[in-house]
Amino acid sequence: MSITPFNASLIPDLSGKIALVTGGNTGIGYITCLELVRHNAKVYLGARNKDRAQEAIKQLKNQVPTAQVEWLSLDLGDLNRVEEAASNFKKKESRLHLLINNAGIMATPYETNKDGIEIQFATNYIGHFFLTHLLLPTLSLTAKDSAAHQVRVVNISSLAHNMAPNGGINFDDPNNTGRFFLKPWARYAQSKLANILHANYLDRHYSNRGIDFISLHPGSITCIFKVIYWFAFFVFITPDQGALTTLFAATSPKAESGKYYIPFGKEGTISSCAGDDKLQDRLYEWTCTKLKSLGYIQD
């Protein structure tokens, strides 16, 4: 493993900054929260399970006694709970500097949420899209408040986005119910492609508000991947190492809006589909239409 060009010692002082990290109770999310509070940010740890979240917060405070960290109840697979989480956050805070869309599930058996959306697409993409949509006004006001307050949205994607079925988003069958090899992985890959398309769309349309929109592949974490076919595409790293690219994207002055980063803070290459402006527009419009049809957003 080569020496990392970015490490936690390069994170600037984050005093006065407020961060929300989804899936912050474990893995990369936990290490991300740890380094953010270690550098004086106030962190909202988004997680579904109260007991696990509180245990994570206990560990964070054991490691950083001065840590400012709170649990935010959040289930990205349930859009009503996403809406509740955003509302609860806005009751507590009027500013948000860092939204880190980290949570995700991987290669799970076929299942849909209560809205009929395949669970990986719902959790990894739709839930984060909706959360970002609901918090965008807060992010915009934070960016407007002071030029010194750097505001960023970071979408955790994956190298797997290159393996999305048919090279893009299956709009005719977004749940990917058809028959093809490694279906759970194909659904995962589509959700990770959607994360990049989302970040790039927002960069093109909203970065003029003073918000940076960044996507990244954190690296493949030890003991996650069990399908030998995929071993050719991933080099395993630890959660501590995996969090470094997230932390680079969230905090480094060198990170740029609209970019896609790979370990450890290097600019990476996205698929031709991920860089397709028309596909970004189509997915954004499709998602808005879907959320409107379900009654979650209004015209």
Catalytic positions: 188, 192
Nearest to 73 by CA among 52, 59, 101: 52
Cα–Cα distance measured from residue 246 to residue 84, given in angstroms and rounded to the nearest whole number: 26
The kind and range of the H/E element at 21 are strand 18-22
Count of beta carbons in the 10 Å neighbourhood of residue 117: 20
Cα–Cα distance measured from residue 183 to residue 288, given in angstroms and rounded to the nearest whole number: 26
Please give the DSSP secondary-structure letter assigned to residue 231. Answer: G
Q: Name 83's Cβ contacts closer than 8 Å, sequence gap at least 6.
A: 130, 134, 296
Helices (H), the chain: 27-38, 50-63, 79-92, 119-120, 127-145, 183-206, 239-251, 277-293
Cis peptide before 264 (omega within 30 of 0): yes
Cα–Cα distance measured from residue 195 to residue 247, given in angstroms and rounded to the nearest whole number: 17
- Give the C-alpha distances (Å, rounded to integers) separating 280 from 119, 167, 216: 21, 13, 16
Please give the DSSP secondary-structure letter assigned to residue 123. Answer: I
